[in-house]
Amino acid sequence: MFKDDEQSESYFLRRRKEGIASVVEDPVQPEVVWEQTEKDVEAEKKRKKVTSPGFSFSAAGLLFPYHLGVAKLLIEKGYIKETTPLAGSSAGAIVCAVVASGASMQEALDATKILAQDCRLKGTAFRLGAVLREVLEKFLPDDAHIRCNGRVRVAVTQILWRPRGLLVDQFDSREDLINAVFTSSFIPGYLAPRPATFFRNRLCIDGGLTLFMPPTSAAQTVRVCAFPAGRLGLQGIGISPDRNPENRATPRQLLNWALEPAEDDILDKLFELGYADAAVWAQENPVEDIVRDDNSSFGSSLVQ
């Protein structure tokens, strides 16, 4: 992104004046820069223990059940623990909040079916945002923000003279967490009938615009993509449909299911596909070989 050290230093100094304490170049797409506020950085410093690798979940639209299936396998097999850093954009941010809240993935799948049924009956475009917020209000526990602080990174896209990514991992309240997740999912003109939304007095939209999969704070990050990563030209992806020859969902099917709420049997299928794809990855990456305690932060390397 930066042509020389002087330009990089100038950029960082400007961000410091705006309350940005950390500027991180993404390891998969170096042209993308993620920024953290001072309180976000302080929250990470207060963490007593970190389990590496962390897991980053992609933007996925309404393919949310796929991520839930992946998370179920990772939790069952011991890859995701209470100390495991998480990060996500859009649907990926939702699943991170759900995992950190301590809810079961089956409960989250049931809540997803309620959202899907509402949208099938009354429409999706311009309504999805209100329905999503209502489901989050009912589903997330009162202390969800406390559980997420310093552990979960939610990516949003701030709109100024150009879109830029902003990482949020310190939440003042449960409502602040819900606002962050809502903003991360804000597809312009789709989630609600307006081109953008305000988050902490910043004009923002969907976090997936600047990057599908933000880095976690662990020394290593496994990236989870709900779409066939190879066909999208994405590199360094750990878990995705094209890692599993038994995953027969076509890109067209996935795109359709991402934009419009599928029937409950399809949501169950997505859940099962995510679980199966994660199982293939787990066979290649035994938990005893890669999970370890690690107090490093601002991870850049990948487990593939």
Strands 51-52 and 54-57: unpaired
What is the secondary structure of 229-256 as a DSSP string?
TTTTT--S-SB-GGG-TT----HHHHHH
The C-alpha atoms of residue 150 and residue 82 are separated, in whole angstroms, by: 12
Q: CB–CB of 127/117 below 8 Å?
A: no
The C-alpha atoms of residue 54 and residue 174 are separated, in whole angstroms, by: 23
Active site (annotated) includes residue 26: no
- Angle of helix 174-184 versus helix 128-139 axis, rounded to 10: 150
Please report, in angstroms and rounded to a whole number, the separation of the first and last CA atoms in the chain. 25
Catalytic residue among 52, 90, 240, 297: 90
Catalytic residue among 26, 40, 206, 294: 206
Beta bridge partners, 153, equal 87
Q: CB–CB of 80/71 below 8 Å?
A: yes
Active site (annotated) includes residue 40: no
Q: CB–CB of 224/179 below 8 Å?
A: no
**Residues annotated as catalytic (active site), given as ranges:** 90, 206
